[in-house]
Structure 1
Amino acid sequence: MKKIVLLALCLVSFVFILSGCSSSESFEEKSYTPDVQIVGINLDVEDREIKVSLSEDEQVHIQYSENSKEYYDISVSDENVLTMTSASNKSWTDYIGFKPAAEDRKISLQIPNGLLENLTLSTTNEDITLSALAVTGSINISSNGGSISFENLDVGSALSLTVKNGDISGTVVGSYDDFAIQTEIKKGESNLPDNKDSGEKTLNVSSNNGDVNIEFVNE
């Protein structure tokens, strides 16, 4: 019995030692504004909350925090599509006993209204929130471990929403008849039909262990 207790104490001490070795490097607030007119955005990050609002100067702006262990790769393609992805320089001990503060796990994205063709957002374990905005093409949003909420999203062709262990709620600009609808709901409730074929635009919704509540509004 004494050997078991001693072994348990050793394991606990080992964890505390590793926790002390894990990274506690502070984060630095940064911002990015591309010097070209962006036509599409692709944010593919991990463990980050994403908040999207309208830009006041018809430019794209991103505010975020990073350090040498957790940072982002940001690039603009020849087609003027902005891509932002999570990058990491962590060792395995950095995952023990340390989690960035909530304010360091946020990405704030401002976009011009009605000028983007496509907007794609993806994250894990955090929520995605969008204010009223319009794109000329499609919006694709995904959160694994968080919820998606929005108001008055206006798409030119398609809206795709996917969550796991989270809810989807918001309003879409247009009438119910404007959209062909496809939904896949597991362990949750939805106010949308499973399938609706007619409509010039498409609305695809997938939820695993979460509820869906989407309303249509005319502006």
Structure 2
Amino acid sequence: MPYKWTMFIGHYGAAMAAKKLAPKASLGALIMAAQFIDLIWPPLLLLGIEKARITPGITEFTPLDFYFYPYSHSLLMTFIWACAFGGIYFAIRKNTVETLVLCALVMSHWALDFLVHRPDLPLAPGVDIFYGLGLWNSVAGTLAVELSMFLAGAYLYYSSVKPLGKSRAIGFFTVIVLFLAIYVGNLASIPPSMEMVGASGLLLWLFVAWGFWVDKNTAR
């Protein structure tokens, strides 16, 4: 079970809501952008380049202690990743508006993490300045923000696309319910090891693939 990422469903809400701003962009691309720094984090964790540990009680909401991840989650590197992501996307799509929306989504990940994380988000590699407002110290506050963002994003996405067709509509709502079920289920669970967290994090790409599939007939 992908412990870290399915708990942070606000990022997916941002991706779905962005469909209003970039209606021709695929939901898969929007999810990839919104979750990009979490997509690159699991390989870095598994390779030992970045580090985290399980520390029950470190926050009220999650036991994960992200004590060294400057290459994926520092503010400077997030900006660099956003520029790189946008540059590749523009080279493929040649669409300025979509590119800007996707760059903003990559940056939005750091902004949302800043809201919920304790002060563990670095400014830049090698700089011992850390940020985080610590919303994870309030379970009720975290639930209110995350669920509101996710459900609002799902509504905005579904209201902005052409009819998905029966199979894709079922697929869309099935995964929405799955997200919510895993999210609630994770509230009472502690991952057995960081290796499991890293390995399960690779499953994030399945949600990217889901986004491309469900949006197949709405993005051009």
TM-score range, shorter chain: under 0.3
Q: Which one scores higher on RCO, CA 8 angstroms, separation ≥ 6?
A: 2
TM-score, normalised to structure 1, is 0.21
More helix by share: 2
Q: TM-score, normalised by structure 2?
A: 0.21
- Max Rg structure: 1
